[in-house]
Amino acid sequence: MTVHVVIPVFNRLAMTQSLVACLRRQELDQPLRMLVVDDGSTDGSGTWLAAQPDIETLRGDSSLFWGGSIALALRHLQARAVLTDWVLLMNNDTTVAPDFVLQLLQVAVAHAPAAVGSVIRDQADPARLLSIGVRIDAWRVLTHDLLDTGAAPTAPTGAVEVDALSGRGVLFPMAGLTASGGMRPRALPHYLADYEVSMRVRKSGWRLLVSPAAAVYSGDDYGSTRRALSWRDMLFSVRSPLYLPALLVFWWEASNWLQRLTLPLRLPLFILFPRLRKPQA
């Protein structure tokens, strides 16, 4: 079995180099192959990647964003990989310890069939947890972290069940991604694309777990970036966390039949009055 590490990048060459160095130090008996999707970088990333013999590179034209980059990589892998392989999605603004991939694999095998994500820790203060995992409240159209509920990992080698997985360090069985149908980049080009594909993997029969022993180290600004946008751009720009087509597809996928019936009423209400989304204590 091979672990295929998929890394979408756009510029930030120094970060890519740092993550690649971490991956080259992984303590792993299984083959690990790196596949980078360079979506039109202009900072020399393409030249550097071309000189790395252990990295395969696919290229975009700056229009792929995260969802399209992962979709391109999966199409490439599905023509070459086997269903017993693993796909590890990583972001290039993270670093990991040498046992990171091994920790994810151990949990995935012990709790099979499962996809396994990682906790997020602060690069500036590694003891500080930034994220444990995602809970989804479809009635309030709200995603929130288990940290917000006061939850904590049960044990260093335990596993936490979650509603969706972040793409910042998540190990998927190739079979699970294939069964789920893969990415939907037209509707979900960037924000929520990772959560949405993981939910479909769960519906296809794989548990969604987070390993507290596997951490990605990231800056404290890892979440969705809020920008000063016009209402038009806020709802119809793919760069916006409130991109309306992505919200509709994501919350439709996250909802039961009754929630879907009321979604056209609740979604605009919560966009206009976000304080109504506050979770119950």
Note the CATH number of domain 3-220+227-277. 3.90.550.10
Measured between its terminal Cα atoms, the distance across the chain in Å is 44
Strands 86-90 and 169-173: antiparallel
Confidence at residue 35, expressed as pLDDT on a 0 to 100 scale: 98
Render pLDDT for 106-123 as a digit per residue (tens, 0 to 9).
Answer: 999 999 999 999 999 999
The confidence band for 270, taking pLDDT boundaries of 50, 70 and 90, is: confident
Render pLDDT for 253-264 as a digit per residue (tens, 0 to 9).
Answer: 999 999 999 999
Q: List all residues 6 or more positions away from 116 whose beta carbon is below 8 Å from its beta carbon.
A: 104, 107, 108, 159, 170, 171, 209, 210, 211, 214
Confidence at residue 275, expressed as pLDDT on a 0 to 100 scale: 80
Give the separation between CA 133 and CA 160, rounded to whole angstroms. Answer: 8
**What 3-state DSSP class applies to 52?**
coil
Confidence at residue 103, expressed as pLDDT on a 0 to 100 scale: 96
Confidence at residue 280, expressed as pLDDT on a 0 to 100 scale: 55
Block residue for tokens 């294939």? 178
Burial label for 156, CB within 10 Å (0-12, 13-18, 19+), is exposed
Confidence at residue 73, expressed as pLDDT on a 0 to 100 scale: 98
Number of helices (H) and strands (E), helices first, in the chain? 9, 12
Choose among 115, 86, 113: nearest CA to 26: 86
Contact (Cβ atoms closer than 8 angstroms) between residue 60 and residue 39: yes
Is 156 a residue whose pLDDT tops 50?
Answer: no
Beta-ladder partners of 169? 90
The confidence band for 181, taking pLDDT boundaries of 50, 70 and 90, is: very high
Contact (Cβ atoms closer than 8 angstroms) between residue 19 and residue 92: yes
Confidence at residue 152, expressed as pLDDT on a 0 to 100 scale: 57
Give me the phi and psi of 9, to 5 degrees please: -135, 150
Confidence at residue 157, expressed as pLDDT on a 0 to 100 scale: 54
| pTM, two decimal places | 0.92
Confidence at residue 189, expressed as pLDDT on a 0 to 100 scale: 96
Is 65 a residue whose pLDDT tops 70?
Answer: yes
Q: Where are the domains of the chain?
A: 3-220+227-277
Q: List all residues 6 or more positions away from 15 whose beta carbon is below 8 Å from its beta carbon.
A: 92, 93
Is 143 a residue whose pLDDT tops 50?
Answer: yes
